[in-house]
Amino acid sequence: MSEAEKIHLFDSWLKESARIVISTHLHPDGDAVGSSCGLASYLKDRGRTVDVVFPDPVPDTLGFAMDPQIKGLTHSVRRDCEKLISEADLLISIDYNRPDRAAELEDAIRASKARKVLIDHHLNPDENFYDLIFSTIEISSSCEVLYGILKKLPDIDGNVPAIGASALKLLMLGMTTDTNNFANSTYPSTLQMASELLAAGVDRQEILSGLYNSYRENRFRFMGEYLSDKLTITPYGLAYAVITTEDLERYDIREGETEGFVNMPLGIAEVRMSIFLRQEGNLFRVSVRSKQGVSANRCATMYFNGGGHENASGGRLAIPQDVESAGAAREYIERSCSDFFSKDELWKSK
Using CB under 5 A, count the residues that bind Mn ion. 5
Identify the CA nearest to 39 among candidates 5, 60, 70, 64.
70
Q: Which is nearer to Mn ion, 95 or 257 (CB)?
A: 95
Q: What's phi and psi for 56, nearest 5 deg?
A: -145, 165
DSSP 65: G
Separation of alpha carbons 67 and 51, rounded Å:
15
Q: Which is nearer to Mn ion, 145 or 277 (CB)?
A: 145
Residue type, 243: I
3-state secondary structure of 286: strand
Closest CB 141 distance from Mn ion, rounded Å: 5
Closest CB 209 distance from Mn ion, rounded Å: 22
Closest CB 72 distance from Mn ion, rounded Å: 24
Among positions 231-260, residues that touch Mn ion (CB under 5 A) are none
Q: Which is nearer to Mn ion, 300 or 323 (CB)?
A: 300
Q: Which is nearer to Mn ion, 141 or 301 (CB)?
A: 141
Task: Count Cβ atoms below 10 Å from residue 218 Cβ, excluding itself.
Answer: 14
Taking residues 58 to 97 in sequence order and writing x for each that binds Mn ion by CB under 5 A, - otherwise, the string is -------------------------------------x--
Q: Which is nearer to Mn ion, 61 or 141 (CB)?
A: 141
85 contacts: CB under 8 Å, gap ≥ 6? 21, 23, 53, 91, 105, 108, 109, 112
Closest CB 137 distance from Mn ion, rounded Å: 11
| DSSP sequence for 149-190 | HHHHSTTTTT-GGGG-HHHHHHHHHHHHHHTTTTTSS--HHH
Taking residues 99 to 138 in sequence order and writing x for each that binds Mn ion by CB under 5 A, - otherwise, the string is ----------------------------------------
Residue type, 153: L
Task: Compute CA distances 262 → 50, 312, 313, whole Å.
Answer: 35, 10, 11
Among positions 147-186, residues that touch Mn ion (CB under 5 A) are 178
Binding window for Mn ion (CB under 5 A); candidates: 24-32, 163-171, 215-223, 323-331: 24-32
Residue number, nearest CB to Mn ion: 31
Closest CB 332 distance from Mn ion, rounded Å: 27
90: part of which helix (H) or strand (E)?
strand 90-94
Closest CB 222 distance from Mn ion, rounded Å: 25
Closest CB 350 distance from Mn ion, rounded Å: 31
Q: Which is nearer to Mn ion, 134 or 340 (CB)?
A: 134
Separation of alpha carbons 307 and 126, rounded Å:
13
Q: Which is nearer to Mn ion, 111 or 137 (CB)?
A: 137
Closest CB 286 distance from Mn ion, rounded Å: 17
3-state secondary structure of 243: strand
Residue 31 near Mn ion by CB under 5 A: yes
Q: Which residues bind Mn ion (CB under 5 A)?
A: 31, 95, 141-142, 178
